[in-house]
Structure 1
């Protein structure tokens, strides 16, 4: 008999103050603070599993994690639902201003925040005029790159699945294959933004892609040149990773509905 109820927790965070999502030995992470808050609410150790890992300084407008909470011995509802939880207020009160809980959703026992995700979307934001309100939230550039050329190269990327050239070195993964279904630059009120969706992403992949596309936007490389970079499978041939401040995880999709 299962004595736990599994939950998905939906959150958003400004990653400026954190060394990414995942618990670190000598640095503060989003996962560490979330685990502590849930453990305080439930009065026992709680460990969360995230839908992925964001790097230091990267933001998330939508992020999911799962955790298990014990069922009440009397049956019926879980300990989480039987405590004075008062919706999300108690949990949010224990977290700093830059981490916000949106939903806590009961799911089936085998639901997995990371392995069940079918698509993830990121945005990378760039602005061109000095703006104190965009400091830490977007990357400021002086010169506007050529969006048409960058979009030509972005479309070419969708012809490939092996993106070893955009992966952080010495990363232990079984495969560097990813299926990109959307990759495009758009104009925004403050500048430009890169939108990308794939079934999975490699470590540092989006920031390396943006850095490579910027080379094309500055006309240092023709759009077709991205083929040679991808086919080389060599990280040193791709562009420099852009700063973390402009990167946002914006959407994570699952094959089942997530409703409170």
Structure 2
């Protein structure tokens, strides 16, 4: 058996997340079904992460194992897979890797992007969250710096999540303004970037929601620090919508 990495991206709007579920269409199941048909053998794939319902990925990595003789040409397989898959999933490449490589456990970091705009714009609503109140992004960046480091992030973990540990090591967390010259770029756009070795279920959306509470003056920087150190999920802010969240990079 040979192991292969798949590099892909997808629009999550039509899916109940990445991971196969009993009562919902998922990205993982859609790709597995297509590969099983093309390779004429049962194929199971494993992704680098498990994005939630509606969340997008501008970069996702997954692996699968198959008989080497059935994958004679990786470029041709990627081409045929793209022809079979719906338009909201794109395969960018398939390549053989060593048997010790694992899409999830070999990854050393993941980066998520979250998009926010504060002026109504008809071109942004599908992939960016429109906020109807002023935000202090400088203050939000001060709070975001408190996230950096290895700590327990249980306050941002969805209740009932099946995880062995809620410890994560965040290496970057910041907001940056997006400037554009075209009409579709306008709208006082901002991007939140966060990188860590791992993420908890619903973590990024809860982080952004809590940072927005800082930016609109609902909680102070001291409150944010206290939530980080001693808080539970009920103490943190609401989860922001998933359609503006993208898994954007994975390092191995």
1:21-100 map, 5 Å = 21-72=18-69, 79-81=70-72, 86=76, 88-100=78-90
* Aligned 1:98-247 pairs, distance under 5 A: 98-159=88-149, 161-189=151-179, 190=186, 191-247=189-245
In the alignment of these two chains, the number of paired residues is 244
Residues 20-54 of structure 1 deviation map (CA, whole Å, 9 limit, x = unaligned): 00111111000011001111110111110010100
Give the secondary structure class of the aligned counterpart of 2:145: helix
Once residues 172 and 151 of structure 1 are traced to their aligned partners in structure 2, the CA distance between those partners, rounded to angstroms, is 30
Partner Cα distance (2:16, 2:111) in 1: 21
| Deviation readout 1:174-220 (Å, 9 max, x if unpaired) | 11000000000001134111000000000000000000000100011
1 CA distance for matches of 2:133 and 2:224?
A: 22
Whole-angstrom distance in 2 between the partners of 1:154 and 1:231: 14
TM-superposed deviation, 1:135: 2.5
> Are the counterparts in 2 of residues 16 and 136 from structure 1 also a CA contact under 8 Å?
no
Q: Report the Cα distance in structure 1 between the residues aligned to 2:221 and 2:150, rounded to whole angstroms.
A: 15
Runs ≥4 residues deviating over 3 A: none
Moved more, 42-51 or 217-226: 217-226
Q: C-alpha root-mean-square deviation of aligned residues, in Å?
A: 1.4
- Measured in 1, the distance between the counterparts of 2:63 and 2:160 equals 28
CA deviation digits over 1:50-81, x for unaligned, max 9? 10100000000000010001023xxxxxx112
Query: Which of 13, 16, 40 is residue 16 of structure 1 equivalent to?
Result: 13
CA distance in 2, matches of 1:200, 1:94: 32
CA contact (8 A) 1:23 1:29 kept: yes
CA drift at 1:87: 5.2
Instruction: Check the 8 A contact 2:71/2:77 in 1, yes or no.
Output: no
**SS of aligned partner of 2:152:** coil
- Tell me by how many angstroms 1:227 deviates: 1.3
Q: CA deviation at 1:120?
A: 0.2
**In 2, Cα distance between the equivalents of 1:127 and 1:86?**
40
Contact 1:163 1:233 (C-alpha < 8 Å) held by counterparts: no
Match of 1:76? Answer: none
Aligned counterparts of 2:221 and 2:7: Cα–Cα separation in 1: 38
CA contact (8 A) 1:126 1:193 kept: yes
The separation in 2 between residues aligned to 1:135 and 1:158, in whole angstroms, is 30
Give the 3-state SS of the residue equivalent to 2:28 in structure 1.
helix
1:159–1:252 Cα change, 3 Å: closer
Q: Give the secondary structure class of the aligned counterpart of 1:134.
A: coil
